[in-house]
Amino acid sequence: MRTILLTWFSRQFLGLQRKLEVAWKNTMENSRKYSKKRSAPKTPRVIVLRWGHRPYRDARLTTHVALIARALGASGLILSDIEDENIKTTVEKVTRNWGNDFSFEMGTPWKKVVKNWKAKGGIVVHLTAYGENIQASKVLRLIKESRKEILVIVGSQKVPREFFLEDFSDFNVAIGNQPHSECASLAVFLDRLFEGEELKKNFEHARMRIIPQKRGKKIVQHL
């Protein structure tokens, strides 16, 4: 009787041990994934470089690009190679009314911006439909893991071939490989980079603030 019991216990013991090993492995793997996700730096400093702006034709789209950069967590915009006082005025007005610091620079040649950025240890991400698919590749993880400041380049017209070269871009990233819009690409890239946290961030020194509502509009003004 004792021998039977002993054999039964041994079998149970070995079976349990195996199951426990599998469960333990799974648990460890999950917790590793979780800690990886948590440890990614959520707020690298990002500056957006808008290339190829044509003052009249691109006025509204470049304004959208600037407002998207600001609202979705970037720290500033560089309008390269050209000056446009209208864009500057609009961006500064929005920042004055709606808060937070947001730098605006214009006229600097794009090659100089990129060279300076890299010299300071930052990386360059070029958003293009031809690049590595943000959903189907590990490109976003690599960018996050670099833990470096990011210069995001968005073009307007067809961009020079140099943008794709190692001398200039560290990553060529596609927000899907279909033709669409630099506005959409910038928005989705920033939303994924900051993991959504940018959308509930508090904008300091704001004169105007929207209080989210299910119905209607509510604005608080600090005059």
Residues numbered 30 to 69 that lie near a second copy (CB under 8 A) are 30, 60-61, 64, 67-68
Task: Name the one range near a second copy by CB under 8 A: 37-45, 108-116, 117-125, 204-212.
Answer: 204-212
Smallest gap from Cβ 24 to a second copy, in A, equals: 6
x/- letters, 158..177, toward a second copy (CB under 8 A): ---x--xxx-----x-xxxx
Q: Give me the helices (H) in the chain, please.
A: 2-39, 59-71, 85-98, 110-119, 139-146, 182-193
Say which amino acid occupies 183. C
Q: Say if residues 48 and 152 touch (Cβ distance below 8 Å).
A: yes
Residue 186 found at the interface with a second copy (CB under 8 A): yes
Smallest gap from Cβ 1 to a second copy, in A, equals: 11
Q: Which helix H or strand E contains 132, and what residues bound it?
A: strand 123-133
Query: d(Cα 141, Cα 152) in Å, to the nearest integer?
Result: 16
Smallest gap from Cβ 139 to a second copy, in A, equals: 8
Measured from the CB atom, the residue of 7 and 107 that comes closer to a second copy is 7
Q: Is the dihedral of CA 127, 42, 67, 53 positive or negative?
A: negative
Smallest gap from Cβ 84 to a second copy, in A, equals: 16
The three-class DSSP label of residue 125 is strand
Say which amino acid occupies 222. H
Smallest gap from Cβ 5 to a second copy, in A, equals: 7
# residues contacting a second copy (CB under 8 A) = 72
Smallest gap from Cβ 180 to a second copy, in A, equals: 4
Task: Name the one range near a second copy by CB under 8 A: 46-54, 80-88, 103-111, 197-205.
Answer: 197-205
The three-class DSSP label of residue 6 is helix
Residue 198 found at the interface with a second copy (CB under 8 A): yes
Packing angle of the helix pair 182-193, 139-146 (nearest 10 deg)? 60
SS3 of the chain: helix, strand, coil, percent, to 5: 45, 20, 35
Residue 98 found at the interface with a second copy (CB under 8 A): yes
Residue 11 found at the interface with a second copy (CB under 8 A): no
* Interface pick for a second copy out of 54, 103, 181, 207 (rule CB under 8 A): 181
